[in-house]
Amino acid sequence: MGRLIFIIILLATAGLIVVFADTTTPEDDERERKVEILHANSLEHDRRLGPDVRRLLGDVRLKHEEVLMYCDSAHYYGADNKVHAYGNVHINQGDTINLYADSIHYFGERQFAEARGNVKLVDRETTLKTENLDFDIENNIAFYPDSGRIERGDDVIESLTGYYYSDEKTFLFKQNVNVRTPDYTIESDTLRYNTETETAYFSGPTTIVTEDLHIYCESGWYNTQTDISQFNENTVIKYDNSVITADSIYYDHAKKSGKGYYNVEMNDTVERVILEGNYAFFEREPEYTMLTDSTLFTHYNEENDSLFLHADTLESFFEGDHRIMNAYYGARFFSKDMQGKCDSLYYSFQDSIIRMYTDPVLWTNQTQLTADHIQIHSRDDQVDSVYMDRNSFIVSFEEDDYYNQIKGREMTGYFNQGELTRVRVVGNAETLYYPREENDIIGLNQVASTSLFIFMKDNSPHRIRFETNPEATLFPLEDLTDSDLFLEGFRWLDDIRPRSKIDLFKN
């Protein structure tokens, strides 16, 4: 016995390698493999820690299956198959994973490591830094409970808690997640990041800021390799003077283009324009927007007298430095002083002209205007004049079945404060209007001329100036037949007139 003790002391003090040979029997193969001691400068029994506890000091090296551990000192619990390692602890697993810490408690039966103090987990180009880390080595899952920092090249990710799934190359961050890269920053409640695909998946309130974008959403993903994102739930994107909101937005950062889905709203605060729809495609350079499905264009002003426009499809783009708006397939618009309907419409913000095509109808107060083509000229957000080309027709309701009517090849109507005050008719001019005396209609005045100028009062012809010799006849009301009451081509379209923003969506 004395000779055996002497040999143990001699080996320990000489710093020789201490190797315990595998003497397991076939029955031992069913038990968990033990942690092996590969090297220590000295080995001691410390009965204060337990009857089978060994204290390893100096250049300690241990092995457990595919795991290698290095440290300055360790307590080796043979019966429990666990190790408490201290000082410059380093665990290596395979060719890629290295774990460093001030101390590590390693449980061999579970292949589980509890790392504490200046913890650093390195997996290829990715480094995780924290103060406390639990590492399930068998399943390659790491967890830090109180603040961690991920470094990958110039990219940094921080959070209060986090998981790392090494086999899947995936991090899961929770609470106060902050991502900083040279190109963007992300703040989120929960974020999952795959280091191979370089894709971040986020949930909860999330803010993303790039050089020229500010983005908010509550779920989505961002592929940093392709620079493509999908933002969902209460999405808001801000850039320049524009704000885009939608249920979800797909965005290509490289191309500066995207698609919005459901409840899309695009607000240009400088042009005072809002575009809405359930689907939108947009490009930022050059600026172009197309919307379909329940579209609405709003041009608002300080007097709260907004112009609302609906069509099957809306297009918005810039020519030079001014905006162009196209609306086609069933265009309708509404404002307090003016309403309209046509198949397609073109609106230039440079000259404030609305051009209406294919069966255009325009209403203002009690007046209806129709033609093959209508141009509306505005000034200071109010109608200034209306040009009507070919088959021009103006109708205003007088009373009962009586309508004042003006017809001609071309017309120009002039407005003041939303009221028609003058009309110039060029080519085949005809009028039917009901003059009054002491507020009573005295008959029907029928006038025909090549061209004429009509001065309006209270939406009715008040005075006519003829540019050529006219043909004029005043008919007593009692002498009129139904055919006398209307000029050829007369239509009264009041039943399709939109009287509110909601009416724009009625068939």
Task: Write down the pTM of the prediction.
Answer: 0.79
Amino acid found at 100: Y
Beta bridge partners of residue 381, listed in sequence order:
none
Mean pLDDT across 300-311: 82
Beta bridge partners of residue 433, listed in sequence order:
445
9 phi and psi angles, rounded to 5 deg: -65, -40
- What the block records as the tokens of 188 is 């989120």
How many C-alpha atoms does 74 have within 13 Å on its Cβ side? 30
Q: What is the pLDDT of residue 8?
A: 31
Question: Which is more confidently placed, 2 or 156?
Answer: 156
504 phi and psi angles, rounded to 5 deg: -65, -25
Least confident stretch, 211-225, 295-309, 328-342: 295-309
CA nearest to 248, candidates 218, 288, 268: 218
Distance CA 493, CA 333 (A): 15
Amino acid found at 462: H
Question: Which run of H or of E encompasses 4?
Answer: helix 2-13
- What the block records as the tokens of 405 is 């009517």
Write down the residue that tokens 């969902």 correspond to. 232
Distance CA 462, CA 457 (A): 6
Q: For 106, which DSSP code?
A: E
Q: Is the pLDDT of residue 314 over 50?
A: yes
Distance CA 165, CA 192 (A): 10
List CB contacts of 455: < 8 A, sequence separation 6 or more.
Answer: 421, 422, 461, 462, 463, 464, 465
Is the CB of residue 97 less than 8 Å from the CB of residue 90? no
pLDDT band at residue 352 using 50, 70 and 90 as cut-offs? confident
How many Å separate Cα 169 from the centre of its chain? 28
Q: Is the pLDDT of residue 18 over 60?
A: no
Amino acid found at 83: V
List CB contacts of 172: < 8 A, sequence separation 6 or more.
Answer: 162, 163, 164, 165, 190, 191, 192
Could you tell me the domains of the chain? 1-22+32-124+132-137 (2.60.450.10), 125-131+138-505 (2.60.450.10)
Q: What is the pLDDT of residue 29?
A: 46
Q: 377-398 burial, b if ≥16 CB within 10 A, otherwise e?
A: bbeebbbebbbbeeebbbbbbb
Beta bridge partners of residue 165, listed in sequence order:
141, 170
Mean pLDDT across 445-463: 83
Q: What is the pLDDT of residue 302?
A: 65
Q: What is the pLDDT of residue 11?
A: 31
The answer to whether the bond into 286 is cis (omega within 30° of 0) is: yes
Q: Is the pLDDT of residue 495 over 70?
A: yes
List CB contacts of 323: < 8 A, sequence separation 6 or more.
Answer: 268, 271, 273, 316, 317, 349
Is the CB of residue 415 less than 8 Å from the CB of residue 383? yes
Mean pLDDT of the chain, nearest integer: 87
Q: Is the pLDDT of residue 490 over 80?
A: yes
Distance CA 475, CA 454 (A): 19
Of the ranges 20-34, 233-247, 300-314, the best mean pLDDT one: 233-247
List CB contacts of 419: < 8 A, sequence separation 6 or more.
Answer: 364, 365, 456, 459
Question: Which run of H or of E encompasses 5?
Answer: helix 2-13
Q: Is the pLDDT of residue 467 over 80?
A: no
